[in-house]
């Protein structure tokens, strides 16, 4: 047998065509499975409050000093909890918005939140500073 003779039909190299076919089928299966997954999360939207006007929101402003202002009326720090309790006494929704001035101390804002919680306010929110 001469050295230049062609080898028989056996080859030691792997045949990659069937492997590529399997990978393409797996890719298609994963693409379909991924598109069928749920791409949402449960969200509870607030109920429409048509009976409450925007001016009915209670806003407690905390200014430097500290100076507390409840809907435009200044309040002494010692009377803060009592005033909040009186304000929310007849309100079915006990929601308070707290607006802190950019230069106010963190401790003074926390004191406002504590006073609101002590007055029975169930939901407190922060109002971002005006730009």
Distance in angstroms (rounded) separating the CA atoms of residues 97 and 118: 15
The residue written with tokens 């002494």 in the block is: 76
E strand or H helix at 31, and its extent? helix 17-36
pLDDT at 7: 58
Q: What angle do CA 111, 92, 110 make, to 5 degrees?
A: 10
Q: Which two tokens stand for residue 99?
A: 């607006």
pLDDT at 54: 45
- Encoded tokens for 84: 């909040």
pLDDT band per the 50, 70, 90 thresholds, residue 22: very high
The string of pLDDT tens digits covering residues 26-68 is 999 999 988 877 666 677 777 765 555 545 788 999 999 889 9
Q: Give the pLDDT score at 70.
A: 92
- The alpha carbon of residue 83 and the mean position of all alpha carbons in its chain are separated, in whole angstroms, by 31
pLDDT of residue 2: 54
6 has pLDDT over 80: no
CATH assignment, 56-127: 3.30.420.270
pLDDT tens-place string over residues 81-94: 999 999 888 888 88
């Amino acid at each position: 047998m001469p050295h230049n003779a062609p080898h028989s039909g056996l080859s030691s190299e792997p045949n990659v065509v069937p492997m590529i076919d399997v990978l393409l089928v797996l890719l298609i299966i994963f693409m379909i499975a991924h598109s069928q997954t749920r791409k949402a999360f449960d969200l509870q939207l607030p109920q429409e409050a048509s009976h409450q006007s925007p001016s009915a929101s209670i806003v407690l402003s905390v200014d430097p000093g500290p100076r507390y202002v409840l809907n435009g009326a200044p309040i002494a720090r010692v009377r803060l909890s009592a005033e909040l309790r009186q304000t929310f006494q007849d309100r079915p929704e006990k929601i308070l918005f707290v607006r802190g001035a950019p230069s106010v101390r963190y401790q003074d804002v926390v004191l406002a939140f504590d006073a609101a919680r002590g007055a029975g306010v169930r939901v407190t929110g922060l109002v971002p500073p005006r730009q």
